[in-house]
Amino acid sequence: MANEAKDMKRRDLLKMIGATAGGFALYNSMMAFGMLNKSDFNGAPNLTNAPKGSTVLILGAGLAGLVAAYELKKAGYKVKILDFNDRVGGRAWSLRGGDEYTELGGYTQKCEFAEGQYLNPGPWRIPYHHQGYLHYAREFGVQMQPFQQVNQNAYLHNSNAFGGKPQRYREIFSDFRGHTNELLAKSINQNNLDDSITKENKEMLLEALKEWGALDKNYRYTGETGSHYRGWATPAGATHDAIPSTPLNFDDVLSSNLWSALNMHFNIEYASTMFQPVGGMDQLPKAIAKDLMSDIQLSSKVIEINQDDKGVKVTYVDMADGDKEKVETAEWCVCTIPFSVLAQIKNNLSRKVKDGIAAVHYATSFKAGVQFKRRFWEEDEQIYGGITFTDLDIGQISYPSDQYFSKGPGVVLAAYQFGINSFDFSARTPENRLAKVMDDFVKIHPQAKEEFDNGISVAWHRNPGTLGCYGLWTDTTREKHFKDVSTMDNRVVLAGEHVSYIPAWQEGAILSSLEAIRQLNDRASKK
């Protein structure tokens, strides 16, 4: 009620403004009242007071490092970036035909994808509200295309339900929804909920349940009503009408546990419209790095970070120059190295920052990309993009959101697992991993066996540059350490997804980077 009253007041005020100043003024006022939902990105910090020519050493050429370098350089700083990999982008990475990848333990895989095919082993989708990412994509002309998160025609699969036969998302969705709405309507009609709803709303609610739940006039979920949503046994054609399908038995839907996969797509993190960069996730880092290449030194493994009151000294191994130890100095430092790696680098950061770095564990995940000779999921099964979820070890299958209907090969994300579920794969040789992936995969797409072409896999805890997938904070570690690691420590400021409240997402890396350079510039400009 308090909110209601507040809203009423705001609306009255808006009405007044609207009446006197026209629509556009009304719009501006709505913005001011926060009634239009904005993201947490409010543009890059204002660095106009930057001490021109001051030097900043940036560790890491992932998105956090690149955004920091771009904005600092634009403001007048002199920047230098060191990165461990022989490419920019960090986890914003795409594997293409000809690429080689060597993981910890020594396995080297060569990617054999056809021209134009790729796998994003790291981040692979951009929520529409990640406006920091989308801002830079737009600024650097990186073309974005929809990432098909939800596909009602993709499968939900439980080996122990429905005889192991995959069900279409639309079937489980419609049937779960229909049966539960039928139950609720029944309860309302039996007057069981009269203490919770007014008599007036009762009729309206029943009407709404009928509409939303696809119930008939007797509030029953049937094949006739449900087929409009779950799909028909035979669709309408030139000479005949559609023939209804038969809904799944409610007990079977419940015990299948497949309902647990319905909700993810409606989570604001995955809500429509999601995006991906056309041609691979490395497009944005490559675009930002384009004018920074002379400031970036790749294949540089940082082994020591030392700061004093005058500046920062970083020792690194130049892996492109016979593993020589070299030194780089600067007045300031932005360090985006993942804590999993940073914890192992000698440094003289303050005790409390070190404690924070040590406290953050890193998640792991496993992804396998498989190229098939033809896009059988489209041609045979009418699945265009989207995700199939399964209880099999591969966890999920994601079909490509680009090159729809093309006649050539296609790369599918054939396994995506987290935590201990990923170890079953990563403990194996790359060849054995693919064999295990395909063992599962054919249970959902039998024709995949014939269509298999080649594949590649990435286990993130075996990635030498990150030793994990992303920083895993708990409520306790947040409480105890986050302020320390996100506050500039003398001349070094930390950045990256792990120094944000949006871990695992590129948006976290970007927003954390902007916050880091804001702090750095505040310090540097007061010098």
C-beta closer to its own copies: residue 168 or 433: 168
Kindly state the smallest distance separating residue 21's Cβ from its own copies, in Å: 10
Kindly state the smallest distance separating residue 92's Cβ from its own copies, in Å: 18
Kindly state the smallest distance separating residue 318's Cβ from its own copies, in Å: 32
Closest CA to 245 of 333, 350, 339, 174: 174
Strands 324-330 and 312-318: antiparallel
Kindly state the smallest distance separating residue 490's Cβ from its own copies, in Å: 19
Residues 6+ away with beta carbon under 8 Å from 227: 233, 242, 244, 245
C-beta closer to its own copies: residue 138 or 326: 138
C-beta closer to its own copies: residue 295 or 515: 515
C-beta closer to its own copies: residue 233 or 358: 233
C-beta closer to its own copies: residue 112 or 269: 269
Kindly state the smallest distance separating residue 295's Cβ from its own copies, in Å: 24
Give the side-chain half-sphere CA count within 13 A for 342. Answer: 33
Q: Are 214 and 174 in contact (CB under 8 A)?
A: yes
**Quick one: tokens of 26?**
């009304």
C-beta closer to its own copies: residue 142 or 333: 142
**Quick one: tokens of 231?**
């799909």
**Quick one: tokens of 377?**
């999921």
DSSP three-state, residue 470:
strand
Residues 6+ away with beta carbon under 8 Å from 417: 365, 366, 393, 394, 395, 424, 425
C-beta closer to its own copies: residue 121 or 247: 247
C-beta closer to its own copies: residue 16 or 327: 16
- Strand stretches in 336-392, DSSP E: 346-347, 361-363, 365-372, 387-390
Kindly state the smallest distance separating residue 103's Cβ from its own copies, in Å: 30
* Cβ-based neighbour number of residue 4 at 10 Å: 8
Longest Cα–Cα distance in the chain: 84
C-beta closer to its own copies: residue 4 or 309: 4
C-beta closer to its own copies: residue 369 or 496: 496
Q: How far apart are CA 185 and CA 181, in angstroms?
A: 6
Kindly state the smallest distance separating residue 98's Cβ from its own copies, in Å: 27
Kindly state the smallest distance separating residue 353's Cβ from its own copies, in Å: 16
Strands 155-157 and 387-390: parallel
Kindly state the smallest distance separating residue 28's Cβ from its own copies, in Å: 8
Q: Are 211 and 217 in contact (CB under 8 A)?
A: no
Q: How far apart are CA 415 and CA 418, in angstroms?
A: 10
Kindly state the smallest distance separating residue 288's Cβ from its own copies, in Å: 16
C-beta closer to its own copies: residue 24 or 351: 24
**Quick one: tokens of 236?**
């309408």
Kindly state the smallest distance separating residue 252's Cβ from its own copies, in Å: 9
DSSP three-state, residue 472:
strand
Kindly state the smallest distance separating residue 454's Cβ from its own copies, in Å: 18
Closest CA to 401 of 155, 149, 116, 111: 149
Q: How far apart are CA 437 and CA 123, in angstroms?
A: 20
C-beta closer to its own copies: residue 34 or 322: 34
Kindly state the smallest distance separating residue 306's Cβ from its own copies, in Å: 26
Alpha helices per DSSP H over 360-479: 376-379, 420-426, 430-444, 448-451, 475-477
The angle, 0 to 180 degrees and rounded to 10, between the axes of the packed helices 131-139 and 506-525 is 80
DSSP string, 134-193: HHHHHHTT--EEEE----TTSEEE-TTSGGG--EEHHHHHHHHHHHHHHHHHHHHHTTTT
C-beta closer to its own copies: residue 336 or 463: 336
